[in-house]
Amino acid sequence: MDELSAQEIVHLLDTAESFKEVSTRSIKKVPALRGKVVALLFFEDSTRTRMSFELAASRLSADVLLFSSHGSSVTKGETTLDTARNIEAMGVDIFVIRHSQSGAPHMLARRLAASVVNAGDGQHEHPTQALLDIFTIRQRLGNVEGLKVAIVGDIAHSRVARSNILGLRKLGAHVVVVGPPTLVPSAIRAMGCQISHSLDDVLGEVDVVNMLRIQFERFSSNQFPSVREYSRLYGMNSQRLKRCKKNVLIMHPGPINRGVELTSDVADGPNSCILQQVTNGLAIRMAVLYLVSQGRQ
Amino acid sequence: MNDILIKNGRVIDPASGRDEVADVAIARGKIVRVGKIKAAARQTIDAKGCIVCPGLIDVHVHCREPGHEEEETIATASAAAVAGGFTTIVAMPNTHPPMDNETAVLYVLQRAAEAGLARVLPVGCITKGREGKELAEMGSMVDAGAVAFSDDGDGVASSELMHRALQYAAMLGVPLMQHCQDGALAGVMNSGEVAVRLGLGGIPTSAEQIMLRRDLELVERVGARYHVQHVTSAGSVELVRDAKVRRLPVTAEATPHHLLLTDVGCSSYDPNYKVNPTLRSAADVEALRAGVADGTIDCLATDHAPHAQEEKELEFGLAAFGIVGLECAVGLYAKALVQTKLMDWPGLIERMTLGPARAIGRPLGTLAAGAAADVTLIDSKARWTVDTGKFRSRSRNCPYDGWKLVGRPVTTIVGGQVKFSL
């Protein structure tokens, strides 16, 4: 999201809007990427993003190659670059890459002739997640400009947080990141957001609450004292929901730790748009693949 | 008859304070005299328009041999050294196996003699296997020729072990060199806005300063000579400055990359900007330059750290740390310190000759009569472009490729023999 302008983001969202309709047809397919090869390189586990990209590429009639590092030559010591170069040698137009290392897609984009789409790199960015989040906010609340969005949880290690901050700021929303100081680096202010360490302090004034998944390994490395306490301080439950604006939007990029970030009644309640986010993700990824392939021509 | 007569150069010799146009006569590997010299010599070098100074000394070089000869050998490091104007390089012990015993020290000296280019002075490990657990045989290594000790790459974490190592160093009369870094505060680049934006793990400047503060406390108790390797932060410069005010036996070095580059260089995830210790902020660069200029920092040192392409052609987080620097160091130092008008050439040369010689306690870095004839000729006005493809080093991990620099060595004489000539 760092490289995209506000205008480009809006264009992406509008393109996704037109692709949403494809999924309502009886034959859910368009020939936009017919004869093109999309290779999905997933060096890190993923359910939603991988399946969403796979389905998006299929609906655009592309041939899809699926790679996951389990059971591949990566376990024999092949580097990311060599893996990608070898797959590229089969004739690939677009790579979609998910990697645990920040900057891995940037490294590949420098070295490969094919286009590279970032499907999440380390703790850096997850641009299609931010796009689908913003798309969902626009759909539910009508616009993005002027809204106040809280992003709650492990900001330090979250690529979802970074991409959302960048995208939301570009479209004129206010962003406040919420979490304990061990999980919220003070330097994140330079990205244009506010910091709060109290969820209760911000609840009443925000239009959107985006709850990030908490990774349990952060607990073992002393970044918070216990899951129980974390949930008490930063978890969203029905009492907290009552203190929010009536039509507040509750989001989560998934996978959810039920009872930790969100209680089930909130996750499955009327303010939640978690499944809508997933649905919209498909249209966003179709738009991204389509526009990237247009850009190549 | 003299062997070499260097005519009409601007002779800068910080040890004597000389800065004048003069001639330098060399015979049997020693400096005979500096002055107006008429006597003939077997070889005459016209140094008109050039600086003639004591051979440059780099107290921080990774020769990689033994263990990683595909990245560098003592011979290729020596060749790179003389091409960069260095007559003496100090070899760090993080080889494979680590240089932690007298046999390893003798091996390095033997390989250096075979290469026959620069003087290579070995540094032994402080701890066995560089593991930070048990003291290495420092006494035996000094007998074999080690000039200092360091676990470079890592700091010595245990205060007890560091205390004992300083006691031993004091007894042996050699300096301990420390890579000041609290290993628990680990990451891959400087902590701050750039790291947060890039999603890369940060190393705070306090990681360096915590260990430096502890060490200064121990040095004050023990009285051993202590050398701070590759200072990166404004806070560390201040700690060293204060230690010198308190007359502690402390010296320090700064590298070209910490004097010229900031963490913004990491923005494109280019692993050539990944280095340990890491690149800091513009304010740190400014403080470090000021520290070199006012003498808080005694030496300039490249921390020449060769790496094979396959160790750098990786994701930023997985790539090896290190930058090669021997062959462009003089131009880089001049860019950071002379062309910014913070220092003049005599000052800069002091930090590359006498300063480092004092830090390692060797009678080098001088043009005094009878001293070893290690001499470097520098064309301080030469404009040139860094081309890593032409490096004599085996490695190319260098962010300065294509940089336009002013000032470069043109002739390097070691022990009275011309080892490099442009």
**B313 and B233 in a common domain:** yes
For A81, nearest residue in chain B (alpha carbons): B314
| Mean pLDDT confidence for B71-79 | 98
Number of domains in chain B: 2
Q: Do B317 and A107 make contact, defined as CB atoms within 8 angstroms?
A: no
| Mean pLDDT confidence for A15-30 | 89
For A124, nearest residue in chain B (alpha carbons): B199
Which residues form the domain of B299?
Answer: 55-360
**Structure tokens given for A238:** 């029905």
**B71 and B182 in a common domain:** yes
Give the phi and the psi of residue B123 in degrees, each rounded to 5.
Answer: -110, 130
**B110 and B43 in a common domain:** no
| Mean pLDDT confidence for B184-210 | 97
Q: What are the catalytic residues of B?
A: 303
Interface of A with B (CB under 8 A): 2, 79-81, 99, 101-104, 106-107, 121-125, 156, 159, 162, 185, 187-188, 190-191
**B340 and B206 in a common domain:** yes
pLDDT mean across residues, chain B: 97
For A158, nearest residue in chain B (alpha carbons): B199
For B195, nearest residue in chain A (alpha carbons): A187
CA distance A189 to chain B (A): 8
Q: Do B269 and A162 make contact, defined as CB atoms within 8 angstroms?
A: no
- For residue B205, which residues of chain A lie inside 8 Å, CB to CB? none
| Mean pLDDT confidence for A113-134 | 97
> What residue type is assigned to position B107 of the chain?
Y
Q: Do A191 and B310 make contact, defined as CB atoms within 8 angstroms?
A: no
| Mean pLDDT confidence for A55-64 | 96
- The band of B37, judged by pLDDT with boundaries at 50, 70 and 90, is very high
Task: Say if B244 falls within a structural domain.
Answer: yes
For the entire predicted model, the pTM comes to: 0.94
**B340 and B215 in a common domain:** yes
Task: Say if B282 falls within a structural domain.
Answer: yes
Condensed to tens digits (0 to 9), the pLDDT of residues B292-327 reads 999 999 999 999 999 999 999 999 999 999 999 999
Task: Say if B298 falls within a structural domain.
Answer: yes
Helix, coil or strand: residue B46: strand
Q: What are the catalytic residues of A?
A: 48-49, 76, 98, 126
- For residue B191, which residues of chain A lie inside 8 Å, CB to CB? 187
| Mean pLDDT confidence for B317-346 | 98
**B277 and B153 in a common domain:** yes
Task: Say if B366 falls within a structural domain.
Answer: no
Q: Which of B195, B202, B268 sits opposite A106 (nearest CB)?
A: B268
CATH of the domain at B26: 2.30.40.10
Whole-number Å distance between alpha carbons of A91 and B27? 67
Condensed to tens digits (0 to 9), the pLDDT of residues A26-54 reads 888 899 999 999 999 999 988 899 999 99
Q: What is the pLDDT of residue B94?
A: 97
**B61 and B39 in a common domain:** no
Q: Do B200 and A104 make contact, defined as CB atoms within 8 angstroms?
A: no
| Mean pLDDT confidence for B14-22 | 97
Q: What is the pLDDT of residue A222?
A: 84
For B317, nearest residue in chain A (alpha carbons): A101
Q: Single out the residue of A272, A250, A228, A222 nearest to residue A152, CA to CA.
A: A250
Q: What is the pLDDT of residue A47?
A: 87
- The band of A23, judged by pLDDT with boundaries at 50, 70 and 90, is confident
Q: What is the pLDDT of residue A216?
A: 78
**B280 and B140 in a common domain:** yes
At residue A69, does pLDDT exceed 90?
no
> How many other CB atoms sit within 10 Å of the CB of residue A189?
14
Q: What is the pLDDT of residue A26?
A: 87
| Mean pLDDT confidence for A239-253 | 96
Whether B260 and B302 have beta carbons less than 8 Å apart is answered as: no
Q: What is the pLDDT of residue B36?
A: 96
Condensed to tens digits (0 to 9), the pLDDT of residues A267-282 reads 999 999 999 999 999 9
What dihedral do alpha carbons B163, B169, B174, B179 form, nearest 10°? -30
Q: Does B317 touch chain A (CB under 8 A)?
A: yes
Q: What is the pLDDT of residue A22?
A: 85
- The band of A217, judged by pLDDT with boundaries at 50, 70 and 90, is confident
Q: What is the DSSP string of B310-359?
A: HHHSS-TTTSPP-B--GGGHHHHHIIIIITTTSS-HHHHHHHHTHHHHHH
Q: What is the pLDDT of residue A137?
A: 98
- The band of A249, judged by pLDDT with boundaries at 50, 70 and 90, is very high
At residue B45, does pLDDT exceed 90?
yes
**B391 and B245 in a common domain:** no
Q: Single out the residue of B258, B174, B250 nearest to residue B212, CA to CA.
A: B250
Q: Which of A103, A125, A162 sits opposite B316 (nearest CB)?
A: A103
- For residue B313, which residues of chain A lie inside 8 Å, CB to CB? 79, 81
Task: Say if B6 falls within a structural domain.
Answer: yes
CA distance B306 to chain A (A): 20
Domain end: B311, B327, B360, which one?
B360
CA distance A222 to chain B (A): 12
Condensed to tens digits (0 to 9), the pLDDT of residues A72-98 reads 777 778 899 999 999 999 999 999 999
Interface subset of B 161-200, CB within 8 angstroms of A: 191-193, 195-200
At residue B95, does pLDDT exceed 80?
yes
List of domains in chain A: 6-125+278-296 (3.40.50.1370), 127-277 (3.40.50.1370)
| Mean pLDDT confidence for B378-401 | 97
Q: Do the bridges between strand B30-35 and strand B41-46 make them parallel or antiparallel, or are there none, so unpaired?
A: unpaired
